[in-house]
Amino acid sequence: MLIATILLSALIIVGAVWVVALQNLFRAALSLGVVLLGIAGLFLVLEAEFLAFVQILVYVGAILTLVVFAIMLTAKLHLPGAAPISRKRLPAALASGALFALLASMSVTWTQASNPPEPAVALETLGQQLVTTLVLPFEVISLVLVASLVGAVAIAAQPSSSAR
């Protein structure tokens, strides 16, 4: 378990560095795919198989495809000089480094209470919780999803079609 975690963590960190550091936005989006697949792998290590497949299906299958479409529609990657000049990197690196130091110090000092390892969450339990205790957030999420889809269509529609 530790070996798989170390390998997947290295994959995720390298991919995440590529996501924020690569100048070519298309390559950054593809390395975001690497990060998302690595996190799905960590979900599998944590015995959350359903979430791993949802992650691959929704993130890699839908969101990443959408992002790649948007990049191809907007960024003129073939033009010379299309690579953007980044804003001040050193202050940003200092700020995020300080944030990482704060979070990492808490992560390293955190220790699990020494109880016997608990069983993994069964998918049946998750499903039952979703339709009993958590039914209100579940319905709110579905409402938000519908609202965002309608809003996206309203925002991205051609102005000529909305004038009719």
| Contacts to another protein from residues 34-63, by CB under 8 A | 35-36, 39, 42-43, 45-48, 50-51, 54-55, 58-59, 62-63
Burial 9-41 (b: 16+ CB within 10 A, else e): eebbeebbebbeeeeebeebbbbbbbbbbbbbb
Distance CA(43)–CA(52), nearest Å, equals 5
CB 22 within 8 A of CB 34: no
Q: Which residues contact 123 (CB under 8 A, 6 or more apart)?
A: 49, 50
Distance CA(27)–CA(18), nearest Å, equals 8
**Residue 164 Cβ vs another protein, minimum distance, rounded to whole Å:** 17
- Residue from the set 60, 95, 136, 163 that interacts with another protein by CB under 8 A: 95
**Residue 95 Cβ vs another protein, minimum distance, rounded to whole Å:** 7
Site size toward another protein (CB under 8 A) is: 83
Q: Is 137 in the site for another protein (CB under 8 A)?
A: yes
Q: Is 100 in the site for another protein (CB under 8 A)?
A: yes
**Amino acid (1-letter code) at residue 141:** I
**Residue 149 Cβ vs another protein, minimum distance, rounded to whole Å:** 6
- Residue from the set 27, 53, 125, 139 that interacts with another protein by CB under 8 A: 125
- Residue from the set 17, 27, 53, 139 that interacts with another protein by CB under 8 A: 17
